[in-house]
């Protein structure tokens, strides 16, 4: 838990808006509604928004949870550099994309939802957030410590031999429990 | 009589005949999800009425365990109903998009003669309209949008769908777990949702045909739209909208939920006194509080509100005290903004003085109440999930001291898993006290507990190696040695089964989902179909 990163909510909202825009567009085109050209645009815009918003950003604080299979999308989105990194660009982009959706009822809902996502992105941008790709961590070999070159000369300190020797008289203390079965009949 | 049937059947047939001619099957595609939505919107409020659920849980004590278990899954049910509402809203909206398009086309005169005649019917002294789209002098592409935003049904529909979308996006697991405040405040848009829902049908734009005198014979008249009003078989057909029904479904749950919030407000106004404020190691705050008329059971939780930090936030905490004590306590660990601020404020309170005003709502019940119903119980607490078990163990100690005859439990196995004991020294202290008491009364084998440190490292191991033959454990100071790594559940279940060959064993977990799944499988694996042998029942707490 920590301070709210608005971009996370904006991302969910934008992804949902993309899907709604896409659905409204498909309905408009399939039903051959008046103004179906706007619906066709909405299909394309919806797909574009979904592709852009699918990869989650890495969180500034805390663990980031990836969406399934987002790695390829991360790579594509990362390739656009500052255009996708900056949330001001995203806010204005979404605001611009959503406008043609307002000209037809089937896509109006997608338009309004995307508009809201754009506003949340604007809030995120004002707070200084930006998009970071989630990349798999590279395993770095730990450099060999200096102490490995000088082995110890003396054995480690041990309690006196009387205590070390297993007390044969006390069966309880000298027996130990195997965590896994070591007999072969199971 | 026959006349009656004929008439009724007749009118049922003609009710939507003309509407269907205009809209095709899109109208029933919209009305069916609407019916489902009515039902689901009624259901969605009920699982979050916690006081109601606690009441039901209490009255089900006579009934079977299974009934009460269903009540524990209230949040799962709430989510399922929410998914259904989302799906039905989608179908309903898409169907209405088609409806509007078809109404618009009919109004523009693009369909057949009958449709045009039907759409031309206007609301005057002796005619009533069928087609709710009345306007024609706007750009035809914009008419559906104009209609959507100027009718009650259209406007409420858009607003509540938008509210629903915002509620859903802020309820995604990622947002909910990380930024609870956003989730909680946005969820309150449900007020707008229900308000809009109730008024959604007020415009009565779904029109059905009314009886006229003489009756309008649709089978004949549909082919003669020009003669309507001029021949006796075909008076002008009359239409009226149906009475809005959604409010009948949702009013009950809305009132119940309102009562719940009222109860919370009343409890907020009740005075909460401080008995003790203790700062525990590793940023854990213990608050011992007293409230008039407060009665709790083991493992229950309360919601705490501190107006000095935030007027509107209520946070849940499991109680760590036993019902036998004259106060109730919560242990609050630093885990976010609200808890951090609370700990800071409490640190500044001088010794013996009262802390800031608090509101406490609850107690609300969960599965741990059932611990004493089982002869044998396995309690597994992972990390912070060990808290309800603090309450249970304390209660056991009190019941034993007083030789409570209602105590059916004769053996308890307690497994405590955590990465490191830092945040839980207070719990280790509790176990030490219990250990001593049990030994004094010669009841050492009533409680068997095993501690597993899953986050050990080399320095731990070295430390243990050097002190391996001490009586008490170096980390916790308890007689029972700490185990390192995760428990091997097969071995544990085997041991429990061996020691209790004929009992019903209740397994209680408060911890992560993954562990819950593992334990559920083990319970099933080690349970015997034979009722005389050992059977394991699995219960999981959720927050």
pLDDT tens, residue by residue, B112-157: 888 888 888 888 887 888 888 888 888 888 888 999 999 999 999 9
Judged by average pLDDT, the poorest of B386-390, B472-476, B478-482 is: B472-476
Q: How far apart are CA B231 and CA B233, in angstroms?
A: 6
CB contact under 8 A, A113 and B175: no
CB contact under 8 A, B97 and A109: no
Instruction: Tell me which residue of B379, B333, B398 sits closest to B506, measured CA to CA.
Output: B379
CB contact under 8 A, A108 and B148: yes
% of chain B residues with pLDDT over 90? 22
For the ranges B157-166, B172-181, B269-278, B472-481, the one whose mean pLDDT is highest? B157-166
Cβ contacts of residue B307 below 8 Å, gap of 6+?
B356, B357, B359
Helix H or strand E encompassing A74: helix A71-78
pLDDT of residue A1: 38
What are the C-alpha distances in Å from B515 to residues B493, B518, B526? Answer: 14, 5, 16
Among chain B, residues having any CB pair with chain A shorter than 8 Å are 90, 93-94, 97-98, 100-101, 104, 140-142, 144-145, 148, 158, 161-162, 165-166, 168-170, 172, 174-175, 178-182, 335-337, 466, 469, 488, 491
Pull the structure tokens for residue A168: 């044969």
pLDDT, tens digit, 9 for 90 and up, residues A8-19 = 899 999 999 999
Name the residue with tokens 């307002």. A102
| Angle, alpha carbons B509-B507-B76 (nearest 5°) | 50
Nearest to A27 among B94, B104, B169 (CB): B94
CA dihedral for A107, A109, A113, A116, sign (positive or negative) = positive
pLDDT, tens digit, 9 for 90 and up, residues A20-43 = 999 999 999 999 998 899 999 999
For residue A61, being part of any structural domain is answered with: no
Asked if residue B368 has pLDDT above 70, the reply is no
pLDDT of residue B525: 86
Model confidence at B385, in pLDDT bands (50, 70, 90)?
confident
pLDDT of residue B60: 67
Nearest to A13 among B93, B169, B174 (CB): B169
pLDDT of residue B110: 86
Asked if residue A53 has pLDDT above 50, the reply is yes
CB–CB of B85/B54 below 8 Å? no
pLDDT of residue A166: 58
The 3-state secondary structure of B355-377 reads: CCCCEEEEEECCHHHHHHHCCEE
Q: What is the DSSP letter of A143?
A: P
Asked if residue B423 has pLDDT above 70, the reply is no
pLDDT, tens digit, 9 for 90 and up, residues B45-59 = 999 998 888 888 777
For the ranges A152-161, B32-41, B509-518, the one whose mean pLDDT is highest? B32-41
CB–CB of A122/A88 below 8 Å? yes
Nearest chain B residue to A17 by CA: give it: B165
For residue A168, being part of any structural domain is answered with: no
For residue A178, being part of any structural domain is answered with: no
Q: How does A72-94 read in b/e, with b if 16+ C-beta sit within 10 Å?
A: ebbeebbeeeeebbebebbbebb
Asked if residue A172 has pLDDT above 80, the reply is no
Pull the structure tokens for residue A3: 């301070």
CB–CB of A103/A38 below 8 Å? yes
Nearest chain B residue to A25 by CA: give it: B94
Asked if residue A148 has pLDDT above 80, the reply is no
pLDDT of residue B55: 82
Model confidence at A175, in pLDDT bands (50, 70, 90)?
low
Mean pLDDT of chain B: 84
Asked if residue A182 has pLDDT above 60, the reply is yes
Asked if residue B163 has pLDDT above 90, the reply is yes
Shortest CA gap B144–chain A (Å): 6
pLDDT of residue A48: 95
Judged by average pLDDT, the poorest of B22-31, B55-64, B248-257, B510-519 is: B55-64
- The answer to whether residue A119 neighbours chain B at the CB level (below 8 Å) is no
pLDDT of residue B162: 95
Instruction: Tell me which residue of B230, B155, B242 sits closest to B192, measured CA to CA.
Output: B155
Judged by average pLDDT, the poorest of A159-173, B28-42, B74-88, B205-219 is: A159-173
pLDDT of residue B537: 84
For residue A185, being part of any structural domain is answered with: no
Strand B376-382 to B411-418 pairing: parallel
Q: How far apart are CA B535 and CA B504, in angstroms?
A: 5
Asked if residue B420 has pLDDT above 80, the reply is no
CB contact under 8 A, B174 and A103: no
Asked if residue B543 has pLDDT above 60, the reply is no
- Helical ranges in B108-231 per DSSP H: 113-120, 143-150, 152-170, 173-178, 180-187, 190-199, 218-221
- The answer to whether residue A1 neighbours chain B at the CB level (below 8 Å) is yes
Shortest CA gap A46–chain B (Å): 16
Instruction: Tell me which residue of B430, B361, B442, B334 sits closest to B389, measured CA to CA.
Output: B430
Strand B483-484 to B447-453 pairing: parallel
Judged by average pLDDT, the poorest of B5-19, B266-280, B453-467 is: B5-19
pLDDT, tens digit, 9 for 90 and up, residues A64-123 = 888 888 888 998 888 888 888 899 999 999 999 999 999 999 999 999 999 999 999 999
Greater pLDDT, B186 or B397: B186
Q: How far apart are CA B512 and CA B381, in angstroms?
A: 10
Interface with B, mutate which of A6, A7, A9, A68 (most B CBs under 10 A)? A9
Rg (CA), chain B: 32
A131-143 average pLDDT score: 74
pLDDT of residue A185: 61
CA end-to-end distance (rounded Å), chain B: 61
For residue A149, being part of any structural domain is answered with: no
pLDDT of residue B262: 93
B391-409 average pLDDT score: 77
The domain of A116 spans: 4-56+67-125
pLDDT of residue A152: 76
Structural domains counted in chain A: 1
For residue A95, being part of any structural domain is answered with: yes
pLDDT of residue A3: 66
CB contact under 8 A, A16 and B174: no
> Is the pTM above the cut of 0.80?
no
Helix H or strand E encompassing B133: none
Instruction: Tell me which residue of B3, B7, B25 sits closest to B16, measured CA to CA.
Output: B25
Greater pLDDT, B306 or B401: B306
Q: How far apart are CA B81 and CA B89, in angstroms?
A: 12
| Residue B187 phi, psi (nearest 5) | -60, -25
Q: How far apart are CA B338 and CA B158, in angstroms?
A: 35
For residue A179, being part of any structural domain is answered with: no
CB contact under 8 A, A34 and B166: no
What are the C-alpha distances in Å from A102 to residues A78, A91, A96? Answer: 30, 17, 11
Name the residue with tokens 């119940």. B256
Q: How many residues does chain A have?
A: 186
For residue A112, being part of any structural domain is answered with: yes
């Amino acid at each position: 838990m920590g301070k709210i990163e608005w971009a996370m909510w904006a991302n969910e909202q934008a992804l949902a808006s993309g899907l709604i825009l896409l659905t409204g567009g498909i309905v408009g085109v399939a039903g051959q509604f008046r103004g179906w050209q706007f619906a066709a645009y909405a299909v394309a815009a919806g797909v574009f928004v979904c592709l852009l918003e699918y990869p989650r950003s890495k969180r500034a604080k805390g663990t980031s949870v990836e969406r399934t299979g987002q790695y390829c999308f991360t790579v594509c989105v990362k390739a656009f550099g500052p255009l996708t990194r900056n949330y001001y660009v995203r806010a204005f982009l979404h605001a611009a994309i959503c406008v043609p959706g307002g000209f037809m009822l089937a896509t109006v809902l997608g338009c309004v939802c995307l508009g809201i996502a754009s506003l949340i992105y604007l809030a995120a941008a004002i707070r200084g957030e930006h998009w970071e790709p989630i990349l798999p961590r590279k395993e770095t070999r730990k450099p060999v410590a200096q102490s490995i070159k000088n082995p110890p000369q003396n054995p480690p300190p041990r309690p006196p031999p009387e205590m070390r020797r297993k007390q044969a008289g006390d069966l309880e203390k000298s027996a130990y429990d195997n965590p896994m079965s070591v007999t072969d009949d199971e | 009589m026959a006349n009656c049937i004929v008439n009724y059947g007749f009118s049922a047939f003609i009710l939507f005949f003309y509407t269907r001619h205009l809209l095709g099957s899109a109208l029933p595609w919209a009305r069916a999800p609407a019916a489902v939505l009515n039902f689901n919107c009624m259901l969605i409020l009920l699982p979050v009425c916690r006081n109601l659920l606690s009441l039901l849980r209490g009255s089900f004590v006579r009934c079977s365990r299974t009934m009460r278990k269903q009540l524990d899954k209230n949040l799962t049910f709430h989510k399922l109903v929410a998914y259904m509402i989302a799906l039905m809203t989608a179908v309903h909206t898409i169907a209405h998009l088609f409806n509007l398009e078809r109404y618009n086309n009919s109004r523009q005169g693009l369909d057949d003669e009958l449709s045009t005649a039907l759409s031309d019917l206007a609301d005057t002294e002796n005619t009533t309209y069928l087609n709710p789209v009345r306007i024609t002098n706007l750009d035809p592409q914009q008419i559906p949008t104009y209609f959507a935003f100027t009718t009650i049904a259209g406007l409420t529909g858009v607003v509540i769908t938008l509210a629903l979308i915002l509620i859903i996006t802020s309820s995604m697991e990622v947002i909910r777990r990380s930024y609870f405040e956003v989730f909680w405040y946005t969820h309150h848009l449900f007020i707008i949702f229900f308000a809009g829902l109730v008024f959604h049908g007020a415009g009565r734009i779904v029109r059905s045909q009314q009886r006229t005198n003489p009756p309008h014979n649709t089978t004949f008249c549909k082919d003669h739209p020009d003669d309507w009003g001029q021949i006796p078989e075909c008076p002008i057909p009359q239409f009226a909208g149906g009475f809005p029904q959604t409010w009948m479904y949702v009013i009950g749950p809305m009132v119940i939920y309102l009562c719940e919030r009222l109860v919370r407000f009343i409890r907020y106004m009740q005075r909460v006194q401080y008995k003790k404020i203790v700062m525990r190691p590793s940023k854990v705050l213990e608050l011992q509080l007293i409230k008039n008329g407060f009665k709790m059971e083991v493992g229950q939780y309360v919601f705490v509100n501190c107006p000095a930090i935030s007027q509107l936030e209520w946070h849940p905490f499991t109680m760590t005290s036993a019902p036998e004590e004259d106060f109730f306590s919560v242990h609050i660990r630093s885990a976010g903004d609200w808890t951090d601020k609370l700990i800071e404020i409490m640190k500044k309170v001088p010794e013996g003085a009262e802390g800031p005003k608090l509101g406490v709502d609850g107690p609300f019940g969960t599965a741990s109440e059932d611990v004493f119903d089982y002869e044998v119980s396995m309690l597994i607490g992972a990390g912070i999930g060990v808290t309800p078990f603090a309450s249970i163990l304390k209660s056991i100690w009190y019941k034993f001291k007083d030789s409570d005859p209602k105590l059916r439990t004769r053996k308890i196995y307690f497994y405590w898993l955590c990465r490191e004991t830092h945040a839980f020294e207070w719990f280790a202290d509790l176990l030490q006290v219990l250990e001593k008491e049990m030994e004094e009364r010669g009841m050492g084998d009533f409680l068997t507990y095993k501690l597993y440190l899953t986050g050990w490292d080399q320095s731990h191991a070295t430390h243990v190696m050097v002190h391996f033959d001490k009586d008490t454990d170096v980390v916790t100071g308890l007689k029972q040695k700490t185990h390192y790594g995760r428990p091997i559940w097969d071995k544990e279940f085997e041991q429990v089964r061996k020691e209790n060959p004929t009992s019903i064993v209740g397994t209680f977990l408060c911890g992560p989902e993954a562990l819950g799944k593992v334990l559920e499988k083990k319970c099933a694996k080690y349970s015997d179909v034979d009722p005389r042998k050992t059977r394991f029942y699995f219960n999981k707490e959720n927050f």
